Amino acid sequence: MMIKRKEILNSQLKLSVIVFAATILGKIFTELGFPETNIVVMYLLAVLLVARFTSGYQYGILSAVVSLICYNYFFTEPYHTLAVNDPGYLITFSIMLITSFLTSALTTKEKLLTKEANERGEESQILYMLSSKLSDAADMEAVLKIAAESISHLLQVNVGCIYVGRQSEPIYIQQSGKEQIHRSVPDADEIRKIYTDLRTEYLEEEEGYGYPVNGREHLLAVVRIDKTVYTKQLQEKKKLLHSIMENVSMAMDRIEVTIERVRDRESMERERERANLLRAISHDLRTPLSGIMGTSEMLMDMTDKEDRRQELLQGIYQDADWLKSLVENILSLTRLQDGKIVIHKEMEAIEEVIGCAIAHVERSFPEREIQVEIPEEFRLVPMDAKLIEQVITNLLDNAVKHTRPREAITVSASYTEDTLLVSVRDEGEGIDEADVPNLFKIFYTSKTRSADVKRGIGLGLTICETVVNAHGGTITGRNRTDRKGAEFIFTLPLPEGGREIV
């Protein structure tokens, strides 16, 4: 308000001084015997100067009226009155007034256009320098420092910038004068909650005005502008302020993408190293395991069935077989992930594949009975029989581990118009609800299973999902709805017009 009043008084003073100077010069011209047209031109010049050195159209118009009154009062008969003896002066006054109005309007408009052009040029220079600095910024802290300095310089107040994105720890940089201060972030989660999807341009807080800086997918930062800033100044600099924040947003997005790529690259490198280690260990374990299985099997044949050592030898054989199966799973998974196993699809009968898988499981668990439900119709399905057999074997092995000998395990197959569905159901303990979303994650094992269940390392189901997806199918796991137990279902696509034999 004080600045506005001071500006008005300054403009009024300029108007008075310029019109007064024009009147004095007019008196001098009269004494020197100059024609009245020179005095008229002098007042037109005064109007032009007032319009040039004051703000707004009103002062130019006011100077035109005051100049006309002064000319009539001091330079037309009768002098020192506003009366007019010669009607011709009325035409002179009209032309003088119209000319003054037009001159004032054109001068004021030209001044405003020049001011706008200068402001646009200054804004372009500010944005160019800002973009140049932001392109060189290597981390989020550097971006915050540049943003705080630029906005503080623009508005001439203290400015704080808080990073609350997802790729690094929250950072708070405050520009106080020429000094930059690191401050602790009060509560990043609360800031995200308040400013995410904010429906207003800014949020008025105790410390100042908070402007959200949004990225492509989420809130990146918040700019806090001190309350000492004038509201008019904020409105005048609104477009430039938003342009600065857009540039800051793009720089932050760029750094977040870079951080994410580096982390992904590091994760891929760790995964590659882990796969290489697993592959090396698995290769080294296969030979001694085969020897242990062969020796234990030979000793079982050489030992009487009633001998108490028979049970011990059988346990050795089963554990070695379990370890060998685990090693094969690891090797299969690493080959699949590396793309070294190529899917060779041929037209196969799912009944034969299920039979081979059951035979494999029954060799390791001869005491278990597995029920089979096969449809009457016979179809040939495009698949890699060896890999699909491994999928069914892993699912059956998983079911055996989670059921007692008296609890039933069932394998069933059925067809729709374009899909083969294979399910493995059991009547065991079921799947804990917390484990359902993580069933097919690599190395994931349940932490809620009963103590008597033999633990794996979380590879079997991952291999199943990889193989089925490679065939263009899907696999899901869930608890049964008809009774207690778990159910795993995978699908394989059938060819269009697939062959059917009844």
| Residue 23 region by backbone torsions, left for phi larger than 0, else alpha for psi between -120 and 50, else beta | alpha
Type of residue numbered 415: Y
Residue 124 lies in a domain: no
**Nearest in space to 376 (alpha carbons), one of 345, 412, 410, 341:** 412
CA atoms within 13 A on the CB side of 46: 31
The dihedral through the CA atoms of 89, 90, 94, 100 has a sign that is: positive
Token readout for 359 is 């035979």
Share of the chain above pLDDT 90, in %: 11
Residue entry with tokens 């008196």: 27
- 501: confidence class by pLDDT, cuts 50, 70, 90: very low
- 198: confidence class by pLDDT, cuts 50, 70, 90: confident
Residue 249 lies in a domain: yes
Asked whether residue 267 falls in the same domain as residue 375, the answer is: no
Asked whether residue 114 falls in the same domain as residue 201, the answer is: no
Asked whether residue 349 falls in the same domain as residue 441, the answer is: yes
Of 259, 288, 321, the last residue of a domain is: 259
Higher-pLDDT residue of 325 and 398 is 398
Distance of CA 342 to the CA centre of its chain: 36
Length of the chain: 502
Residue 156 lies in a domain: yes
Overall average pLDDT of the 74-88 stretch: 76
The dihedrals phi and psi of 79, each to the nearest 5 degrees, come to -70, 155
Asked whether residue 155 falls in the same domain as residue 304, the answer is: no
CATH of the domain at 389: 3.30.565.10
The alpha-helical segments, DSSP class H, found in 215-342 are 231-236, 238-302, 309-338
Overall average pLDDT of the 25-52 stretch: 80
Share of the chain above pLDDT 70, in %: 89
CATH of the domain at 279: 1.10.287
Residue 127 lies in a domain: no
Domain span at 178: 135-259
Asked whether residue 485 falls in the same domain as residue 411, the answer is: yes
Residue 49 burial (CB < 10 Å; 0-12/13-18/19+)?
buried
Asked whether residue 179 falls in the same domain as residue 275, the answer is: no
Residue 128 lies in a domain: no
Residue 368 lies in a domain: yes
Query: What local confidence, expressed as pLDDT, does residue 414 receive?
Result: 92
Query: What local confidence, expressed as pLDDT, does residue 453 receive?
Result: 44
Residue 481 lies in a domain: yes
Asked whether residue 222 falls in the same domain as residue 167, the answer is: yes
**Residue 229 Cα distances to 22, 177, 213, 226, 243, angstroms:** 41, 14, 19, 6, 19
Mean pLDDT of the chain: 81
**Nearest in space to 356 (alpha carbons), one of 386, 376, 327:** 386
Asked whether residue 278 falls in the same domain as residue 406, the answer is: no
Of 95, 119, 143, the last residue of a domain is: 119
Q: Which of 188-192, 250-254, 431-435 has the highest mean pLDDT?
A: 250-254
Beta strand 475-479 with 486-493 is: antiparallel
Asked whether residue 73 falls in the same domain as residue 99, the answer is: yes
Q: Is the pLDDT of residue 422 over 90?
A: yes
Overall average pLDDT of the 322-349 stretch: 74
Number of domains in the chain: 4
Query: What local confidence, expressed as pLDDT, does residue 451 receive?
Result: 42
The dihedral through the CA atoms of 243, 248, 249, 254 has a sign that is: positive
Token readout for 169 is 């720890």
Asked whether residue 154 falls in the same domain as residue 61, the answer is: no
Of 259, 288, 311, the last residue of a domain is: 259
Asked whether residue 71 falls in the same domain as residue 159, the answer is: no
Distance CA 357, CA 396 (A): 8
* Whether the predicted model's global pTM rises above the 0.85 cut: no
Asked whether residue 323 falls in the same domain as residue 466, the answer is: no
